Structure 1
Amino acid sequence: MTLLKFVDNASGKSIGAFSWYATHGTSMSRDNKLISGDNKGAAARFFEDWFTSIESNSSRSVPTPSNISKLIKKVRSIKATGGKPCDSSTSRSFKARKSDGSQFVGAFCQSNVGDVSPNVLGAFCTDSGKPCDLNHSSCHGDVTLCKGRGPGYPDDILSTKIIGERQFNKAVDLFMSATKELTGKVDYRHVYQNFSEMEVELSGKTKVRTCPAALGPGFAAGTTDGPGMFGFQQGDTEINELWKKVRDLLKEPSQLQVECQKPKAVLLSSGEMFEPYAWTPEILPIQILRLGKLIILSVPGELTTMAGRRLREAVKETLVSNGGGEFDDETHVVIAGLTNTYSQYVATFEEYEQQRYEAASTLYGPHTLSAYIQEFNHLALAMAKGRSALQPADWSPPDLSLKVLRLLADPFPDSLPGGKKFGDIKQDVSEPKGGSFKKGDRPSATFWSANARNDLLTEGTFAVVEMLQGQRWIPVYDDDDFCLYFKWKLDNSSLYTSLATIEWEVPEEASSGVYRLRHFGSSKKAQHSPIEYFTGASSAFTVS
């Protein structure tokens, strides 16, 4: 992991930290139906909360009331509020963390993540529990049975927390021990390059070309983080006649494409498909950023571990050899993966020969990595020599903003059963045995709601846990917290009636006291009517 710490020069206060570490955001499996920032989002949340707590020398907890039995009696008189109107910005004021511009930013950036899985226990067959076939990541020839296991298996959320915590803990170590101040130039080079049919010069002056984009059968096989289907396996270099006919209905690859992509068999010749517009990008942005002796390579794809290593080493060698002493062994190169656009994976030439998932998803043929190394070396040389990067004429990405197909329909108008208001309680929090919830319990409430896509409440929240402090209800957790779950669904009785359930897994650090659950949402009476906002809260309950 590489961490860059940001310090305000005037005050000397830390204002943020960016870290780069390669691991896929696939701790949450495809069975998860909740929106999540996965392990990177978890790490960022843990880091920012940790920094806030040490800066304020406090935690989010409050003094514990001494008499829980009195509180239990008190909460029985605090009923659900019923649905009430509010405005579009109300939910923002109920965030547990205020967005006032002063918040510390902890960013966990992606790197050469291509073949790095967070499911570190390995891949196992779901029918037998035995390890999958190593060469094809399948079980008895079936990839759908081969699935990776995270450290919290079988709990995806626990796995996400653990992998997030591991990144968070390492980031804290680096943050607290960071002493090397970056000095020197701030610089960049950026160009667009056409990676389809690019001439590439290899060592020994041999010249080769990249190919129009294509995906192979190993792509359709998926990975142990997300298995594919239809009988494909990783490592396949042939396609049966049935799938060739299906492929050819979309686009039969040219013979030039077939030869260029070998040993990949062309399952989808996306680089030769242009209706209603190009299926994959040809013109890609590549970029080098310089902060003193920290060099950041912005790559529009997912490089494998070894591909990333080769790219970093090549760029560093070019900088050191041509920089006239500005760059040396202390120059540190990191890869920022999946940046500026997305063009699938980048495998090494040797990995490409094996045609596993990453290689089958390497769009521009066996020399894709060599093309990246060549073009990044051109940028590095320009930076080292203080020259401008040469931008090929007329090479800029097409503007597709007026052509992009929108297949997701607008939400239907919202409706309610007679006598109900948006934000009313359908199922209130149930009082537990003993009258008080314990750490690890899950109080929940279900509200009459509306389609959450009416307004995504950006910078706001759909769900809040409020705590009674004195005479005021104070937000203490919102839907940015791992312990709070917001679940939306349509009511079984109607296609237009929505239900929203809020579940709170009471965390260990939660203080004893009086709480309630609050929901925010937005509704539309008709397709083109204005959006109306609402809120509602459950009855109160105690935590001890």
Structure 2
Amino acid sequence: MSVRFRPLSSLLLAAALAAVPAAVASPAAAAPSPYRVGVGIADITGEAAELGMLGYADPAQTTAGIHTRQWSRAFAIAAGPAKVALVSTDLDFVSQSVHTEVVRRLAGTGYTATNLVLTATHTHSAPAGYTHSTLYNLTTLGFEKRTFEAIVAGIVRSVRAADADLAPGAVKIAAGTLAGANVNRSLPAFQRNSAADRARFPGAVDNRMTVLRFEQAGTPVGMMSWFPTHGTSMRPDNRLISGDNKGYAAQHTEHSHGVTWSTRGAFVAAFAQTAAGDMSPNLRDGGAAGPTDDQFENTRIIGDLQATAAQRLFDAATEELTGPLDVRQRYVDFSGVQVRLPDGSVKSTCPGALGQNFTAGAEDGPGPDIVDEGDLTTNPLLLAAGIVVNPATPAVRACHAPKQVFLATGLQNPPWTPQVMPLQVVRIGQLAVTVAPGEFTIVAGQKTQDAVAAALGGITRHQILAGYANAYAGYVTTAEEYDAQHYEGAATHFGRYTQAAYAQELAALAAALRTGAATPSAVQPPWLGDRQISVRPGIVFDAPPVGKAFGQVLTQPAASYRRGQTVTVAFATGHPGNNFRNEGTFLEVQRQVAGAWRTVATDDDWSTKYRWARNGLAASTATIEWAVPADAAPGTYRIVHHGDAKSLLGRVAPLTGTSRTFTVS
């Protein structure tokens, strides 16, 4: 998927058996005018210990450290009075709650729900709890205010930074292909599509990549790449926060452009998702296994493929986007959209519901052995569980057929999953970006883009579908794929005609953009911030191991290492939840240069891993690993740990520990 609710279904089964202002059209530039562009980046890392992760929905997958931090990367474009911000975040998806609060905090900046695009890379190795939707907060035992705050505040900082950075420049575009970075993990469903639809995707994959090159006065300052592959290179047993393959691609690209810890933001690279619903980075066994048996290496391989392809396109980008900036946006209640099909018949979407086969999971995140993908028979156990936990009416069951409804998430008050969804079409000169709050399969995404392109009537030449954006309500499959009721179809929330409804409503926005018509919203998503609860125990206090002090080194490094070896140091520490250290770090690898210590790596570097573990009631250990890079400079090094500890009286104080020195040769 995306949000993988296999183990989640086990939780539900066990339990059962035992305001945003109305958006208005943004002003369009009266005539083509030079663009001003700006870039920004900010840290959005959530709690790094004992917090459930979002994506695989396994309650056992809780954070226990950091491999790479989470970032919000923003790109602002302005032409005359019009402007738009494209943002890529290292999240599983952007929640409506995050989008609403970010818009609220950006009041007065010129960025609103209309011209702000918040997308997610779809990593499955990042903290959860930042939504207001009950279903998505189950693995965190409720809403996590501090992680929500870290995400919202960071996104706002990145957008403000990009806006402040606006300067005369250019946006250039290039498109190409990348082979070997994705496979179709849902072939039986894909093969149900028409021969014409299948023919558009040889090998049953979408290998297209689009890259935007941002320049200021001829100097490159940013890159934004779109390519469809899931953020599932890291497996469900991973407990380190990670940006997954797209996070690696972004970090690698920024470093290749000379960005260091101290110069972050000098060049910003984002790797965003398109229609990745059935695209997996796990190249073996139909999406079940990565290219190797090492999940970190798999993440690097798929990330490096994207980074290399994107850099090639970036270097070749010569076509400059020129002309109007314009946007249309509207909220639509997808619980009952009347959809007119090509044959003239009218069908309807349904209140949100998940099918029994969504508990089977996908190939790269299988669920409990209760049902199999594609099984259209009623499972008595799941039927009973659904009736107890989240019952569906006969009308809703009929509307979702042939889906066997497990959870009627749209019938609760408030709904367990969103139903009022944000839709957006953005024009940047000859580029149209279609923005939607779900994960489209490649054929569903193409059909939707075709509808938008037709409605635009040729005013743009390039098309991108930006998924996982502004809110989230599961998958979007074609009607043919839906009928197969594999994981993706069972997790298509609004029934068989979900894709047709998205295509219809987004095409209406595109037509309004072409004609200059306004697109007011008749509905608004509810604000549920005042209804959130959390039953997860908080941090009571920290205590060092008996006979030790906070920051004391428990395991020292060896005296010397060679390139390619791994340095490991352990410290007595406090709980990382005391201070997320956003825009900072829990570790530094330092090299001695001319008698002073220079930081060469932090907890955001690919070469480092920060692992946290609880030892008893209140004691905990920070274990820091540094895989000495092949290009590490010979010399004298040390490892520094930064943390925070909470006293019995509730006071949080910083702590620092420093290892003995060692040499690298």
What's the TM-score once normalised by structure 2's chain length?
0.67
Residue 480 of structure 1 pairs with residue 576 of structure 2: no
1: CA distance between counterparts of 2:525 and 2:627?
A: 46
CA distance in 1, matches of 2:234, 2:545: 35
How far apart are residue 238 of structure 1 and its match?
2.2
Percent of residue pairs bearing the same amino acid type:
38
Q: 2:356, 2:382 within 8 Å by CA — same for their partners in 1? A: no
1:333 alignment partner, one of 459, 463, 473: 463
The answer on whether the counterparts of 2:545 and 2:572 sit within 8 Å (CA) in structure 1 is no
Match of 2:444 in 1: 307
Query: Which residue of structure 1 aligns with residue 630 of structure 2?
Result: 508
Which residue type is aligned with residue 224 of structure 2? F
Q: In structure 1, what is the equivalent of residue 639 of structure 2?
A: 517
Q: Is the 8 A contact 1:113 1:304 kept in 2?
A: yes
Alignment of 1:12-91 (within 5 A): 12-52=218-258
1:52 partner SS: coil
1:39-91 CA-to-partner distances (Å, cap 9, x unmatched) read 010000000001117xxxxxxxxxxxxxxxxxxxxxxxxxxxxxxxxxxxxxx
Task: Provide, for residues 412-471 of structure 1, a one-character-per-residue CA deviation record: whole Å limited to 9, x for no partner.
Answer: 21012355322111111133xxxx311221111100000011111001111111111110
Q: Is residue 124 of structure 2 the alignment partner of residue 2 of structure 1?
A: no
CA distance in 2 between counterparts of 1:445 and 1:264 reads 52
Gaps of 5+ in 2: 1-208
Which residue of the other structure, out of 518, 532, 540, is the alignment partner of 2:653? Answer: 532
Contact kept, 8 Å, 2:356 with 2:379, in 1: the verdict is: no
TM-superposed CA distance for 1:355, in Å, is: 0.5
Out of 578, 591, 610, the residue aligned to residue 454 of structure 1 is 578
Q: Give the CA deviation at 1:2.
A: 0.5
Aligned to 2:280: 117
* CA distance in structure 1 between the aligned counterparts of 2:638 and 2:486, rounded to whole angstroms: 50
In 1, Cα distance between equivalents of 2:639 and 2:372:
47
Partner of 1:241: 380
CA contact (8 A) 1:217 1:238 kept: no
Q: Which has the higher strand share?
A: 2
Paired with 2:373 and 2:546, the residues of 1 have a C-alpha distance of 55
Q: Quick one: structure 1 residues 240 and 284, their matched pair in 2 at CA, closer, same or farther if it must change by over 3 Å?
A: same
C-alpha distance in 2, partners of 1:108/1:233?
33
Higher relative contact order (CA 8 A, sep 6+): 1
Match among 443, 454, 470 for residue 567 of structure 2 = 443
Q: How far does residue 479 in structure 1 lie from its aligned partner after superposition?
A: 1.0
Q: For the residues of structure 2 that align with 1:368 and 1:299, how far apart are their CA atoms?
A: 12
- For residues 1-24 of structure 1, give each alpha carbon's deviation from its aligned partner in whole angstroms, at most 9, with x where no partner exists: 10111111xx32111111111110
Distance in 2 (CA, whole Å) between partners of 1:281 and 1:49 is 38
> For residue 103 of structure 1, what is the aligned residue in structure 2?
266
Q: Report the residue type matching 1:24 in the other structure.
A: H
Provide the rounded CA distance (Å) in 1 between the counterparts of 2:537 and 2:583.
24
Letter in 1 for 2:653: E
| Structure 1 position 99, deviation (Å) | 5.4
Match for residue 414 of structure 1 among 535, 542, 547? 542
Q: Deviations over 1:508-534 (max 9, x none)?
A: 1111111111111111103x6232111
* Residue of structure 2 in register with 1:71 after alignment: none
Give me the CA root mean square deviation. Answer: 1.4
**Secondary structure, in 3 states, of the residue corresponding to 2:245?**
helix
Distance 2:545 2:285 in 1: 49
Q: Is the 1:483–1:505 Cα contact (8 Å) retained in structure 2?
A: yes
For residues 326-385 of structure 1, what are the alpha-carbon distances to aligned partners after superposition, in whole Å with 9 as ceiling and x for unaligned? Answer: x15xx1110111000111100001100100111000000000000000000110000000
Q: Distance in 2 between matches of 1:429 and 1:36?
A: 25
The one of 275, 287, 302 equivalent to 1:163 is 302
Tell me, what secondary structure is at the counterpart of 1:203? coil
Q: Give the residue type in structure 1 aligned to 2:418.
A: P
Separation in 2, partners of 1:292, 1:251: 46
CA–CA distance in 2 between the matches of 1:341 and 1:408? 25
Does 2:619 align with 1:497? Answer: yes
Residue 88 of structure 1 corresponds to which residue in structure 2? Answer: none
Partners in 2 of 1:510 and 1:148 — Cα distance?
A: 35
Structure 1 Cα separation of the partners of residues 546 and 484 of structure 2: 62
Does the alignment pair 1:279 with 2:416? Answer: yes
d(CA) in 1 for partners of 2:227, 2:396: 35
Name the aligned partner's letter for residue 494 of structure 2: Y
Contact 1:25 1:118 in 2 (8 A): yes
Matched residue SS, 1:16: strand
Q: Please show how residues 95-494 of structure 1 align to structure 2 within 5 Å.
A: 97-98=261-262, 102-123=265-286, 148-151=288-291, 153-274=292-413, 277-320=414-457, 327=459, 331-392=461-522, 395-431=523-559, 436-491=560-615, 494=616
Secondary structure, in 3 states, of the residue corresponding to 1:314? helix
Look at both structures and tell me which one has the larger radius of gyration over its CA atoms: 1
SS of equivalent to 1:204: coil
Contact map agreement 1:217 1:234 (CA 8 A) in 2: no
Moved more, 413-422 or 17-26: 413-422
The answer to whether structure 1 residue 541 and structure 2 residue 662 are counterparts is yes
User: 1:531 & 1:187 partners in 2: Cα distance?
Assistant: 48
Deviation at 1:223, TM superposition (A): 1.0
Q: Is the 8 A contact 1:217 1:233 kept in 2?
A: no
Confirm or deny: 8 A CA contact 1:519 1:536 kept in the other structure.
yes
Q: Return the alpha-carbon distance in structure 2 between the equivalents of residues 299 and 368 of structure 1.
A: 12
Structure 2 counterpart of 1:114, which letter?
G
Separation in 2, partners of 1:246, 1:149: 31
Distance apart, 1:290 and its partner CA: 1.1
Aligned equivalents of 1:264, 1:167: Cα separation in 2: 36
Structure 1, unpaired ranges of 5+: 54-95, 124-146, 322-326
